[in-house]
């Protein structure tokens, strides 16, 4: 028994912020941002929330899967940027969708969040505990972005992606997941409920702060290691993998991972040019785009890999359809 993705959906706010708009706020340029990150635009909320985007992505995934909201037995939302603490984002989605039979909880693992939500759903499905699960990554990172800090504000965007998973016959591949809290200072953001000395909501501690080079080095070393390990553990060869769907942080990170794995860059789809880094939503949004444009075909083997704050990272193998 395993878990199979049978529907996907995504939502991005209609407001698109290009690099020139950022260059009007901080000392940077379209050329610098594109060259160092690959990002050209990002979608930014104007009235939407983490909950509303999660709901819309989920509605689209349910429609795509043909599953009714009442059939969903578990909803997991991965987010670090919800507009609600209580009730949790997943319960808000449940109410809005009328998924009255679902158990709901949120997960917080930053840019590794969707991979961990997928693994959790897979464990419940392959263990026979649930038959139908909805997983969602939804982020309003613009609320956690310091728009005066040029080293971070160029990177992030808002959006949500969702997948419906059903129990079915097949192989449940083993995941690789890792965390290193000892290196957590590389990427931080204090909760708005944490008092800092002479606290003011404009203090940079309340926004994402990052040692960009440290995160970059961590990602290009640990992601290929995790991918190699997940393939070895499951006795799957690189030749069998059609796509490596990585967290969309920076095109140079994706290119470097491809190079270290000695795999062609064509196997590494990217949409960060349009969305920027949407943390736990990025892999789900990309899977949805690939499903809709026909790149994903039944029987293909895919690796998904996430990495980010924590530090956390991990990779999973799945068979599509
Ligand atoms: N525009 C122009 N110049 C800039 C900008 C900018 N936006 N940002 C930094 N610079 C300058 C720096 O001040 C520095 O100038 P100096 O040489 O005079 O001191 C120079 O550019 C080089 O700075 P670096 O930090 O070395 O630039 P780098 O090539 O490392 O690129 C970047 C920075 C894009 C942040 C890169 O390090 C990166 O992408 N890191 C990974 C970030 C990431 O993926 N984070 C998300 C993790 S996922 C999660 O959990 C949220």
| Residue 131: count of CB within 10 angstroms of its CB | 17
Instruction: Please check the confidence at residue 202 and state whether its pLDDT lies above 90.
Output: no
Nearest atom of ligand 1 to the alpha carbon of 307: 48
Mutate to test the pocket of ligand 1, among 22, 25, 216 (most ligand atoms within 8 A of CB): 216
Any idea what DSSP says for residue 200? -
Tokens representing 127 are: 């263990």
How wide is the angle at C-alpha 170 spanned by C-alphas 168 and 172, nearest 5°? Answer: 100
Contact 98, 69 (CB under 8 A): yes
Q: 36 CB less than 6 Å from ligand 1?
A: yes
Instruction: Please check the confidence at residue 197 and state whether its pLDDT lies above 90.
Output: no
**What value does the CA radius of gyration of the chain take, rounded to a whole number of Å?**
19
In tens, the pLDDT along 1-11 reads: 999 999 999 99
What Å distances lie between residue 265 and 137, 245, 262, CA to CA?
A: 25, 11, 9
Q: 94 CB less than 6 Å from ligand 1?
A: no
Q: 34 CB less than 6 Å from ligand 1?
A: no
Q: Where are the alpha helices (DSSP H) in the chain?
A: 19-23, 30-37, 50-65, 89-97, 113-126, 212-233, 251-261, 272-275, 282-292
Q: 213 CB less than 6 Å from ligand 1?
A: yes
Instruction: Return the pLDDT at 190.
Output: 87
**Nearest alpha-carbon partner for 125 in 303, 301, 4:** 4
Which residue has its alpha carbon closest to ligand 1 atom 24? 213
What Å distances lie between residue 301 and 121, 148, 238, 257, CA to CA?
A: 18, 42, 10, 18
Cα–Cα distance measured from residue 62 to residue 51, given in angstroms and rounded to the nearest whole number: 16
For residue 83, give the 3-state DSSP assignment.
coil
Which residue has its alpha carbon closest to ligand 1 atom 29? 36
Buried b (16+ CB within 10 A) or exposed e, 265-291: eebbbbbbebbbbbbbbbbbbbbbbbb
Phi/psi zone of residue 111: left (φ > 0), alpha (ψ -120 to 50 degrees), beta? alpha
Instruction: Return the pLDDT at 161.
Output: 98
Q: 141 CB less than 6 Å from ligand 1?
A: no
Contact 246, 316 (CB under 8 A): no
**Phi, psi at residue 90, to the nearest 5°?**
-65, -35
Quote the percentage of the chain above a pLDDT of 70: 98
Q: What is the mean pLDDT of residues 246-259?
A: 98
Show Cβ contacts of residue 303 under 8 Å, excluding neighbours closer than 6 positions: 227, 230, 231, 241, 243, 244, 245, 315, 316, 317
In tens, the pLDDT along 31-51 reads: 999 999 999 999 999 999 999
Q: What is the mean pLDDT of residues 224-238?
A: 98
Which residue has its alpha carbon closest to ligand 1 atom 31? 36
Instruction: Please check the confidence at residue 198 and state whether its pLDDT lies above 60.
Output: no
Nearest atom of ligand 1 to the alpha carbon of 111: 50
How wide is the angle at C-alpha 249 spanned by C-alphas 248 and 250, nearest 5°? Answer: 105
> What's the pLDDT band for 192 if we cut at 50, 70, 90?
confident
Instruction: Please check the confidence at residue 28 and state whether its pLDDT lies above 60.
Output: yes
The single residue of 119, 234, 250, 277 carrying the catalytic annotation is 277
Instruction: Return the pLDDT at 193.
Output: 77
Instruction: Please check the confidence at residue 196 and state whether its pLDDT lies above 70.
Output: no
What Å distances lie between residue 307 and 86, 179, 312, CA to CA?
A: 27, 9, 6
111 given a catalytic annotation: yes
The single residue of 19, 91, 234, 247 carrying the catalytic annotation is 247
Tokens representing 116 are: 């961990």
Q: 246 CB less than 6 Å from ligand 1?
A: no
Distance of CA 171 from the midpoint of ligand 1 (Å): 41
Distance of CA 35 from the midpoint of ligand 1 (Å): 11
Cα–Cα distance measured from residue 94 to residue 321, given in angstroms and rounded to the nearest whole number: 25
In tens, the pLDDT along 116-164 reads: 999 999 999 999 999 999 999 999 999 999 999 999 999 999 999 999 9
């Amino acid at each position: 028994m395993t878990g199979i993705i049978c529907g996907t959906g995504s939502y991005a706010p209609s407001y698109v912020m290009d690099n020139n708009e950022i260059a009007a706020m901080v000392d940077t340029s379209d050329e610098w941002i594109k060259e160092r990150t690959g990002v050209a635009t990002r979608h930014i909320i104007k009235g939407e929330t983490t909950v509303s985007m999660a709901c819309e992505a989920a509605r689209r995934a349910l429609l795509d899967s043909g599953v009714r909201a009442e059939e969903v037995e578990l909803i997991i939302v991965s987010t670090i940027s919800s507009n609600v603490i209580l009730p949790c984002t997943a319960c808000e989605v449940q109410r809005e969708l009328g998924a009255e039979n679902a158990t709901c909880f949120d997960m917080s693992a930053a840019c590794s969040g969707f991979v961990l939500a997928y693994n959790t759903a897979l464990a419940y499905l392959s263990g026979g505990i649930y038959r139908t699960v909805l997983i969602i990554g939804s982020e309003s990172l613009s609320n956690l972005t310091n728009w005066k800090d040029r080293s971070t504000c160029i990177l992030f965007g808002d959006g949500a992606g969702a997948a419906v998973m059903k129990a079915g016959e097949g192989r449940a591949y083993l995941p690789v997941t890792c965390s290193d809290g000892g290196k957590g200072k590389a990427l931080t953001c204090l909760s708005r409920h944490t008092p800092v000395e002479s606290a003011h909501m404009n203090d940079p501690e309340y926004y994402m702060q990052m040692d960009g080079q440290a995160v970059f080095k961590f990602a290009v070393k640990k992601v290929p290691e995790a991918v190699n390990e997940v393939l070895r553990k499951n006795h799957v060869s690189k030749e069998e993998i059609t796509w490596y769907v990585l967290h969309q942080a920076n095109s140079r990170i994706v290119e470097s991972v491809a190079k270290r794995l000695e795999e062609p860059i064509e196997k590494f789809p990217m949409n960060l040019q349009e969305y920027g880094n949407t943390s736990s939503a990025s892999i789900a949004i990309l899977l949805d785009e690939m499903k809709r444009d026909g790149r994903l075909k039944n029987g293909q083997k895919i690796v998904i890999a996430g990495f980010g704050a924590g530090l956390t990272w991990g990779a999973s193998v799945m068979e599509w359809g």
